[in-house]
Amino acid sequence: MTQHHPGGSRAWAAARKKVLSRLRFTSLRLRLVVVFGLVALTAAVSASAIAYWLNREAVLTRTQDAVLRDFEQEMRNRAGALPERPTQDELQNTAGLMATSSQRFSVLLVAEDAEGRTVYGSSGGLSGFSLQDVPVSLREAVNERQKDTSADKSAYHLYWQRIVEGDTPYLVAGSKVNGGGPTGYMLKSLEPEAKDLNSLAWSLGIATGLALIGSALLAQAAATTVLKPVQRLGAAARRLGEGKLDTRLRVSGTDELADLSRTFNNAAEALEKRVADMAARDEASRRFVADMSHELRTPLTAITAVTEVLEEELDSESGGIDPMIEPAVRLVVSETRRLNDLVENLMEVTRFDAGTARLVLDDVDIADQITACIDARAWLDAVELDAERGIHARLDPRRLDVILANLVGNALKHGGSPVRVSVREADDSIVIEVRDHGPGIPEDVLPHVFDRFYKASASRPRSEGSGLGLSIALENAHIHGGGITAANSPEGGAVFTLRLPRDASALTGGAEGAGKDRADGDQSKGEGAKGNA
């Protein structure tokens, strides 16, 4: 019993796909073969046509001259020996003798007998050669008397014509005996010459076909020679595009393709060096931000503890703070909080840039999570929630809280209450929309709302937020495999749409984060790029 081998089918499919890819009309290989073929076909057809025409004329002219020369000689010797008014028997006998010449043509003699009647003498060949077989124009030319000239005193000339009857070519000629005598006509079949010419045409056609095949093979060889370096260059460019910057081409020869390979190698080397320099600078920049953030946390912790004491003194009824310095103390407390938020945001950004951010997944009720986020920040009176209970997703609760806090806080800060948060299910995703009732986002700012530290106006370089809130929210959405979009509602106000997968387990590679990110601080402040506009 024969068994089907799946590997063989795949190999056949791969080979077939490779062949079809080479035969694409846009393929340079196919175009080279077609161009070579057209050039060879044009040259072969032209050469064959010229050769056929020259040989045809040579064959027909040679045969025609020999026949006409023989016929003219027979007319002069045999027909000229007849009396001016011969009998039919004499004509018949002479026609038979004339037909036995070396060229073997049929003969028809026409004359008037002694009684003035037209008599005919035919050699009897070719189903009885008769006067009806002679074209009228030829008969008229033969019987027309010519004027005497000093160069030619003959009253009648020899005329000939080629005709085709039943796909068979014939040569017809006619002449009249000068000085009085019968008129003679000759009919010669050119079928042997036609067969020879057909054989020649077939031979030239076969030669043309072989030339076409040879040109296709030569074109294939030339295309392979030319395209192999191009294919290697294409493969090297793809590897370079995939990030393999150490890709180089082997250079051999001194032609244009070798120069192209050298240029590619030089460009790849320069690109590798520039990318390495940029990567080094980027790594140094990330390291600086990370080190700076960590270094700032130690003194900031002490400053935060002092500001908390000062804040308690401000809120106490004993009035422990001198009213003269109270505004300064409140400014210090406010700026310390802002600095603390900025440091936490910078540390979060460095984790995303370094690729060390991890998900710590848990089963989350979306409505409960949103309610907890709003309640923790005392936004219950300013936020309308449109979410059904029981919509569950497997997400990172802390990162979801960061996203919601930034989106809702940004809407409250710049759009004004009430802010409406709605939740809906879409296939395998959860869609959360945060809409405010403010003036909306300017069209020139809309593409940049998620950019880090983006300032929509140079006249307002400083804002209450760090300028990283919406950027961090977007990064947290991306690490879940989702995204955030910003738009203006037709009814007024801005709309931020968060789309997250119902289950982000596939992004953890089967091993969920160890939870160490929870110790990095809670990004609870709602801020964003829109606030920096």
pLDDT bucket at 465, cuts 50 / 70 / 90: low
The first and second tokens of residue 141, run together, are: 């030319």
Closest to 431 (Cα-Cα) out of 418, 421, 441: 421
The pLDDT of 377-401, averaged and rounded, is 88
pTM: 0.46
**Helices then strands (H, E): number in the chain?**
10, 12
Q: What pLDDT is attached to residue 10?
A: 61
Largest CA distance in the chain: 170
Please state, as a whole number, how many other Cβ atoms lie within 10 Å of the Cβ of residue 308: 12
Please state, as a whole number, how many other Cβ atoms lie within 10 Å of the Cβ of residue 527: 27
Q: What pLDDT is attached to residue 201?
A: 81
The per-residue DSSP string of 242-260 comes to: TT-TT------SSSHHHHH
Q: What pLDDT is attached to residue 4?
A: 45
The pLDDT of 106-130, averaged and rounded, is 79
The per-residue DSSP string of 303-315 comes to: HHHHHHHHHHHHH
Dihedral sign of CA atoms 357, 360, 365, 370 in order? negative
Judge residue 58's burial from the number of C-beta atoms within 10 Å of its C-beta, 0-12 exposed, 13-18 middle, 19 or more buried. Answer: exposed
Please state, as a whole number, how many other Cβ atoms lie within 10 Å of the Cβ of residue 9: 10
The first and second tokens of residue 354, run together, are: 């370094």
Type and span of the H or E element at 63: helix 28-77
Type and span of the H or E element at 487: strand 483-488
Is the per-residue pLDDT at 135 higher than 70?
A: yes
pLDDT winner (highest mean) among 36-40, 252-256, 317-321, 475-479? 475-479
Cα separation values, 279 from 8, 274, 323, Å: 45, 8, 53
Closest to 325 (Cα-Cα) out of 335, 341, 314, 336: 314
Is the per-residue pLDDT at 399 higher than 50?
A: yes
Is the per-residue pLDDT at 91 higher than 60?
A: yes
* DSSP state, residue 147: P
Is the per-residue pLDDT at 282 higher than 80?
A: no
C-beta pairs of 81-90 under 8 Å, 24+ apart in sequence: 82/111, 82/177, 82/181, 82/182, 84/180, 84/181, 85/111, 85/112, 85/113, 85/114, 86/111, 86/113, 86/119, 86/182, 87/113, 87/114, 87/119, 88/113, 88/119, 88/120, 88/121, 90/121
pLDDT bucket at 456, cuts 50 / 70 / 90: low
The pLDDT of 410-430, averaged and rounded, is 85
**Contact indicator for 174, 159 with CB cutoff of 8 Å:** yes
Q: What pLDDT is attached to residue 515?
A: 42
Phi–psi pair at 121, nearest 5 degrees: -135, 115
Residue labelled with tokens 């405010």: 436
pLDDT tens digits for 295-348? 777 787 778 777 777 777 777 666 667 777 878 877 877 777 777 777 777 777
Residue labelled with tokens 């590619």: 264
Q: What pLDDT is attached to residue 153?
A: 63
The first and second tokens of residue 19, run together, are: 């062949």
**Residue type at 302 in one-letter notation:** A
Q: What pLDDT is attached to residue 302?
A: 79
Q: What pLDDT is attached to residue 433?
A: 92
**Contact indicator for 343, 335 with CB cutoff of 8 Å:** no
Q: Is 276 left (phi over 0), alpha (psi -120 to 50) or beta?
A: alpha
User: What percent of the chain is predicted at pLDDT more than 70?
Assistant: 82
Phi–psi pair at 531, nearest 5 degrees: -70, -20
Judge residue 41's burial from the number of C-beta atoms within 10 Å of its C-beta, 0-12 exposed, 13-18 middle, 19 or more buried. Answer: middle
The pLDDT of 270-291, averaged and rounded, is 80
Cα–Cα distance for residue pair 42/364, rounded to 1 Å: 76
Cα separation values, 513 from 35, 92, 392, Å: 61, 122, 20
The pLDDT of 102-123, averaged and rounded, is 85
pLDDT tens digits for 484-523? 999 998 888 889 999 999 888 887 754 444 444 443 444 4
Closest to 436 (Cα-Cα) out of 456, 451, 414: 414
Q: What angle do CA 385, 390, 392 make, to 5 degrees?
A: 95
228 versus 393: the higher-pLDDT residue is 393
Phi–psi pair at 496, nearest 5 degrees: -105, 125
**Residue type at 361 in one-letter notation:** L
22 versus 511: the higher-pLDDT residue is 22
Q: What pLDDT is attached to residue 498?
A: 93
The first and second tokens of residue 463, run together, are: 């804002």
Peptide bond into 182 cis (omega under 30): no
Local structure of 164: helix, strand or coil = strand
The pLDDT of 345-361, averaged and rounded, is 74
